[in-house]
A and B are shown apart, each in its own frame.
Chain A
Amino acid sequence: MAKKIRYLDRNKEPMIEASERVKSFREYALGFSPNLALDEAKRCLFCKDAEQRCIKGCPIHVDIPGFIKKITEGDLLGAYKKIIETDVFPSICGRVCPQERQCEGSCILYYDTVRDRKAKGLPVSIGALEKFVGDFVRISGIKLTEEKALPTGMRVAVVGAGPSGLACAYDLAKRGHEVHVYEALPKAGGVMRYGIPPARLDREIIDYEVQRLESLGVKFFYGHVVGRTVSLSQLKEDYDAVYLSVGAGRGKLGLKGDHLKGVFSAIEVLTRVNLMEAYRFPEAPTPVDLGRKVAIIGGGFTAVDCAITSLRLGLETHVVYRRTRETSSARQEEWDHLLEEGAKIHWLTQPVEVLGNEKGEVIGLKCIKMELGEPDESGRPRPVPVPDSEHVIECDSVIFAIGQQANPLAYEGILETTRWGTVKVNEMYQTSVEGIFAGGDVINGGDTVVRSLAHGREAAKFIDEYLRTKNWTFTGG
């Protein structure tokens, strides 16, 4: 009997109620139970040409049907091993990837990427399954002994303990190299630690992954600012190779009135709350003061993270974005969650000025309405101002979540850069200085966690090759 295709009965992860989840920073998506996971796994059609579909849609090319098959076979450890062949951190990616634009967006139940047409169903919940597998192994207490090649005697320095650096360190350690990770902040994880709120990514998960690396022999040096404590050039002398993965995390402002008291970069607010736990102030000594109403400018992941944060601080939360929801790079379901939690989201709204009082404090955000006009170069309809649509959103603070810029501290004057200030590399992640590789946001200026992981792993392969051959091909340009 032909297997019945289950187009529509996609399982949902249990969630904490909106009214309840805004009261704390604990994770609100509670994940599949084994039974739910098994049932969801059975929806997968195990496409023969998955390479052309979900696997292609995944930036790190996880063997998706492969791991889902293992779930259906009752082999969760096998499923985990399958995932970490390509994606070292299943629990993290399962939580923070925008799957709808990646694997799930190319699931045959939802979209036939081979024939390029819409299918009639909902995709397999690949993200939730990946998260389930990662969580299962972590929570079960099973200690996986990860295989490791014999020591090569080679030493590699990784600069920056964000997703890219951690992924690279993992692979290099597995290949038998001695890996030292240099991190300025007191904890590893980069943006996963100081940026993404614990409501989306529980800190225990990052701790667990860092411990996995430590048990592979990776050593971490916190409080080391490369560019100050030690220079990149010095590291290159001290090690056989260097992987630079410092991200591009410098905040950005840029609007009339952004000097006012109450104007913040997203990074500042997120760091205060998520790294320094300002939501526990004054028990935790680091404060945050956003007043009672906050306007967040931006429509990407960072804006979502700021909104999650400010709602949980109990504030009236406005999100202001000049484009539409469809063009947002955040997960669509996150917007739904925010709406449920009471955020006011102003699509097609362009902020033009932060307004202040005579004391220099923020009192509002002046905006104009936009409408969709002719498509621009990228083919997206360009938002154009609606005449006479000026209005003011009252607020005590304004958070700029409009993207980040390069932070050149580690490589200024040493590596060739692009005109955006990011580091120039060739397709093997080699920079202009032999022995120094770079990957993650420091080369692409701001992308997803999973893309950074992919860079880290690919770079590890090329670093390994370089250590054996000492071949350097960067030619500049």
Chain B
Amino acid sequence: MFKVLHKESLTPKAFVMEVQAPHLASAQPGQYAVVQRTLESERVPLSILETTSEGARFLVEVRGRSTLELDVRLNEEPEIAYIEGPAGVPFEIRNYGRVLLISKNWGLASLFAIGKALNACGNSVSALHVGDTLENVYMIDELQSFCESVRVLTEDGSLEEGNVEIALRDYLDSAGKPDLVVCAGSNLDSSLVVDLCKREGIEVMAMVNTYMLDTIGLCLVCRVMVKGEQKLACVDGPWFRGDEIEWDYLLARENIYEDEEKQALEKFLKQLERERLRSRR
């Protein structure tokens, strides 16, 4: 059992938590962990926001059954049965020059540690964050603490309206080409960013978003095609050169379990509803 030392809601859809898990202490920027609230829970990969003296912090966006389960159940009992990690290949931290981070929704969680480390080793870091709604906008203050400039948009217009493509174009117009773009949070949005970067001749690193199961390179559910070769997001990724990723392959496989996910969420919501009724009695 791993203790959750701290949990705090950021928006109705997102929270940060700090867990006591000493084995995560060696995590480097770009790595993730796999969390199961109970041994029956689904295995949820979560980017590591930062390591702490006792373990690590995570930013979790509630997007389906398993993240909702974490949110609700951790309020009842701040314990996690299983945490695997750090997993994945660390992001290469070096001086690239000028770096632009582009995140969609929870993608910010994956960029945070990378941006911080890049800033610490002399890069000039800027960030563009796009949320679906205001509920997907969080941690902007912290982001500003290591970024030269931060711009936040939402797709529904609850904040300045826009999307990643518009944001990137505007940035290029006003600030010129960065030496590196790093993007995460949505395959579709990342693929648009990569397209634009390719056309402009900008180096881009992207995080692929795939289903994961064992997360140690056995099951192949996380397979992606990179430069014509099969790679595994869980052990070879999750970061790849954006221009080498076959985005169509990735996009075709990203919603295989969409129906089941809906069903699982509904089932869980029903269960929560029942629990609420019972406790009222």
Name A's B-contacting residues (CB within 8 A).
184-187, 194, 221-225, 228-230, 249-251, 253, 259, 261, 264-265, 267-268, 271-272, 276-277, 281-287, 289, 360, 407, 409
* Interchain CB contact (< 8 A) of A289 among B217, B257, B268: B257
| Separation of A369 and B90 alpha carbons in the complex (Å) | 48
Chain B positions 143-193 with a Cβ under 8 Å from a chain A Cβ: none
Chain B positions 94-149 with a Cβ under 8 Å from a chain A Cβ: none
B267 interfacial contact with A, CB 8 Å: yes
Q: A186-B36, A268-B221, A285-B65 are in contact. Are A228 and B81 (CB under 8 A)?
A: no
User: Taking the nearest CB of chain B, how far is it from the CB of A233, in angstroms?
Assistant: 13
B39 interfacial contact with A, CB 8 Å: yes
| Separation of A277 and B42 alpha carbons in the complex (Å) | 10
Name B's A-contacting residues (CB within 8 A).
23, 26, 31, 34, 36, 39-43, 65-66, 69, 81-88, 213-221, 225, 230, 235, 249, 252-253, 256-257, 259-261, 263-264, 267-268
Report whether A251 and B220 are in contact in the complex, using a CB–CB cutoff of 8 Å.
yes
Per CB-CB distance, the 9 closest pairs between chain A and chain B, nearest first, are A287-B260, A223-B84, A268-B219, A285-B42, A282-B267, A186-B82, A265-B220, A251-B220, A249-B218
User: Taking the nearest CB of chain A, how far is it from the CB of B131, in angstroms?
Assistant: 26
User: Taking the nearest CB of chain B, how far is it from the CB of A302, in angstroms?
Assistant: 12
Report whether B88 and A281 are in contact in the complex, using a CB–CB cutoff of 8 Å.
no
* Interchain CB contact (< 8 A) of A268 among B43, B220, B225: B220
User: Taking the nearest CB of chain B, how far is it from the CB of A232, in angstroms?
Assistant: 14
| Separation of A414 and B56 alpha carbons in the complex (Å) | 28
Report whether A409 and B214 are in contact in the complex, using a CB–CB cutoff of 8 Å.
no
| Separation of A407 and B65 alpha carbons in the complex (Å) | 31
Q: A268-B221, A360-B252 are in contact. Are A185 and B214 (CB under 8 A)?
A: yes
Q: A272-B213, A409-B216 are in contact. Are A281 and B260 (CB under 8 A)?
A: yes
Q: A186-B39, A230-B26, A259-B249 are in contact. Are A250 and B87 (CB under 8 A)?
A: no
* Interchain CB contact (< 8 A) of B253 among A261, A277, A281, A285: A261
Report whether A223 and B260 are in contact in the complex, using a CB–CB cutoff of 8 Å.
no
Report whether A228 and B214 are in contact in the complex, using a CB–CB cutoff of 8 Å.
no
| Separation of A281 and B86 alpha carbons in the complex (Å) | 28
| Separation of A285 and B88 alpha carbons in the complex (Å) | 24
Report whether B256 and A250 are in contact in the complex, using a CB–CB cutoff of 8 Å.
no
List residues of chain A with CB within 8 A of the CB of B87: 225, 228
Report whether B82 and A222 are in contact in the complex, using a CB–CB cutoff of 8 Å.
yes
User: Taking the nearest CB of chain A, how far is it from the CB of B268, in angstroms?
Assistant: 8
Report whether B85 and A228 are in contact in the complex, using a CB–CB cutoff of 8 Å.
yes
List residues of chain A with CB within 8 A of the CB of B220: 250-251, 253, 265, 267-268
| Separation of A261 and B41 alpha carbons in the complex (Å) | 25
| Separation of A283 and B41 alpha carbons in the complex (Å) | 10
User: Can you pick out 8 interface pairs between chain A and chain B where the beta carbons lie within 8 Å of each other?
Assistant: A229-B23, A229-B85, A249-B218, A259-B225, A271-B219, A272-B213, A285-B66, A287-B257
Contacts A265-B221, A271-B218, A409-B235 known; 16 new A-B pairs at CB < 8 A: A186-B39, A223-B82, A225-B84, A225-B87, A228-B31, A228-B88, A251-B220, A253-B220, A259-B249, A267-B214, A268-B219, A268-B220, A276-B42, A282-B260, A287-B257, A407-B216
Nearest opposing residue in chain B for A221, CB measure: B23
Report whether A271 and B41 are in contact in the complex, using a CB–CB cutoff of 8 Å.
no
List residues of chain A with CB within 8 A of the CB of B39: 186-187
Nearest opposing residue in chain B for A187, CB measure: B39
| Separation of A283 and B213 alpha carbons in the complex (Å) | 18
| Separation of A230 and B23 alpha carbons in the complex (Å) | 8
List residues of chain B with CB within 8 A of the CB of A272: 213
Nearest opposing residue in chain A for B257, CB measure: A287
List residues of chain A with CB within 8 A of the CB of B230: 253
| Separation of A283 and B267 alpha carbons in the complex (Å) | 8
Report whether B217 and A407 are in contact in the complex, using a CB–CB cutoff of 8 Å.
yes
List residues of chain B with CB within 8 A of the CB of A282: 260, 263-264, 267
User: Taking the nearest CB of chain A, how far is it from the CB of B145, in angstroms?
Assistant: 29
List residues of chain A with CB within 8 A of the CB of B253: 261
List residues of chain B with CB within 8 A of the CB of A229: 23, 26, 84-86
* Interchain CB contact (< 8 A) of A267 among B34, B218, B252: B218
Report whether B216 and A287 are in contact in the complex, using a CB–CB cutoff of 8 Å.
no
| Separation of A80 and B26 alpha carbons in the complex (Å) | 44
Report whether A186 and B217 are in contact in the complex, using a CB–CB cutoff of 8 Å.
no
Q: A285-B264, A287-B257 are in contact. Are A225 and B216 (CB under 8 A)?
A: yes
List residues of chain A with CB within 8 A of the CB of B34: 223
List residues of chain A with CB within 8 A of the CB of B23: 221, 223-224, 229-230
| Separation of A282 and B257 alpha carbons in the complex (Å) | 12
List residues of chain A with CB within 8 A of the CB of B85: 223, 225, 228-229
